[in-house]
């Protein structure tokens, strides 16, 4: 299993969101930057911290012209309950059997599925990635820093 690297095109996939709707990633590529994050489990302490940090900074993601998508093997029902309980304003996708996780090359750590975040540019290629299982909040900080630097370099802000 090869891990996607910066410059690699992301695989095409269709998964169900927290409301049971089919989401085809192809419908999003090229419209906005994508922040796709893989996380081990709904309601676990680290995953809840990560999701709530993204929620608290969601305006910054929107201003950067990004759509946030969280993915793990949890069920549609689990994702819906997690999103409702924590008022998560972004998409959560159910990846039964971790097929998409494996297509991205996210590595398991011990008995847990990995925690890795990918920023995908308008061209559908990985522009940035960050992996850290134990420091969930750091994902949010690293991704927001990258998005801010990317916007400053391109001089676009949310006009991406």
DSSP string, 15-39: EEETTS-EEEGGGTTTTSEEEEEE-
Amino acid 160: pLDDT: 37
- Residue range 47-57: average pLDDT? 94
Lowest mean pLDDT among 26-30, 70-74, 90-94, 134-138: 134-138
Domains in the chain, CATH or no CATH each: 14-152 (3.40.30.10)
pLDDT category of residue 159 using cuts at 50, 70 and 90: very low
* Cα 144 from chain centroid (whole Å): 12
Give the CA angle between residues 4, 10, 14 to the nearest 5°: 125
Give the catalytic positions in this structure.
47
Amino acid 153: pLDDT: 76
**Residue 32, CA distances (Å) to 14, 64, 73 in order:** 18, 9, 25
Q: pLDDT of 64-123, one tens digit each?
A: 999 999 999 999 999 999 999 999 999 999 999 999 999 999 987 766 778 899 999 999
């Amino acid at each position: 299993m090869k891990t996607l690297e910066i410059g690699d095109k992301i695989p095409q996939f269709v998964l169900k969101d927290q409301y049971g709707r089919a989401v085809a990633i192809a419908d999003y590529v090229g419209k906005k930057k994508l922040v796709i994050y893989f996380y081990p489990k709904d309601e676990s302490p680290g995953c809840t911290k990560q999701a709530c940090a993204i929620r608290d900074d969601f305006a910054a993601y929107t201003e950067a012209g990004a759509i946030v998508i969280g993915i793990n093997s949890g069920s549609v029902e689990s994702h819906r309950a997690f999103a409702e309980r924590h008022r998560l304003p972004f998409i959560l996708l159910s990846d039964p059997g971790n097929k998409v996780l494996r297509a991205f090359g996210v590595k398991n750590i011990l008995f847990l599925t990995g925690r890795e975040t990918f920023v995908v540019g308008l061209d559908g290629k990985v522009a940035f990635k960050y992996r850290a299982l134990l420091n969930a909040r750091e994902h949010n900080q690293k991704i927001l820093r990258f998005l801010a630097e990317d916007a400053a370099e391109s001089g676009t802000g949310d006009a991406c």
